[in-house]
Structure 1
Amino acid sequence: MTPQSSPVRQWRVPPVLPAVKAIGALLLVALGLLFAGQDRVPLVLAGLAAAALLGWALRDLVAPVRLAADPEGITVIQGFAGRRRLPWAAVESIRVERRTRRGLTAETLEIDAGESLHLFGRYDLDAPPEEVAAALTAVRGAAR
């Protein structure tokens, strides 16, 4: 990268989120043990849910950066912890989708790359999707 080019911008999972998920998994196991009694089904279900939650927390630790942008393009997370590089020419649109259900509004950053659509929520980015969309647009505009 040359000194004139802008630095890489990154958005990642909030650092506290994996810990919260791990604590939630422990609470699920504790509740399973508490309510199991003679029946093992609640314990097995709690164990399965806790394992899924721990897997989700592990993903946050292994691949905390969900989105990165530089003058050449963006890098998005793909699969469990893989990365996919998209040049700016492949990015068709960047927008924020807002949905209101039961009085709650959820915002999702959508990056349309033609054959693929990449979605990011507030907790994927540790920033409001509107701010990230503006930053991506600015990086993309500076690259042209």
Structure 2
Amino acid sequence: MNKWDQNDPPGALRFERRIDSTSTAVSVLLCDLRNELQAANHRAGSSDTWEIVLAEAINNVVEHAYMEHAGHPVALKLVFSPVLLTAEMTDWGLPMPNLTLPEGAAPEIGETAEDQPEGGFGWHLIKALTEQLEYKRQDSTNKLLFSVKID
């Protein structure tokens, strides 16, 4: 699935960004993208699904591939068509365990408030909300390719 090299559909907006491996950089990126989409009157400007997937995916890179160390790049190529976000995300951090995507099963919910898991929902959300999802390790890079319907 490399739709990146295909021609953009009519009405598509293309973004290429390179951000630092910090949660602040992720937040700024998401705000900037939403503002640019809204300024262009793109329907993704009022959609939340793409933002959830992109936030979870990049935050996983920051937390796991770069182990929360700032100063490392995350490169993004994003094409927002009127109905679909196609994304290619590249990092130079640690590879996925076993060079495969996590299973993405939802964590077990506890019976009381104290028993609730604090995390573990990220890959479950990513897998549930993406149309296509592919991970590749090439040399020293991780590539995550995915598409998300613009609702």
Scaled by the length of structure 1, what TM-score is found?
A: 0.27
User: Which one has the bigger helix percentage?
Assistant: 1
User: Which one has the bigger strand percentage?
Assistant: 1
Query: Quick check: which has more Rg, 1 or 2?
Result: 1
For CA contacts below 8 A with separation 6 or more, give which structure has more relative contact order: 2
Scaled by the length of structure 2, what TM-score is found?
A: 0.26
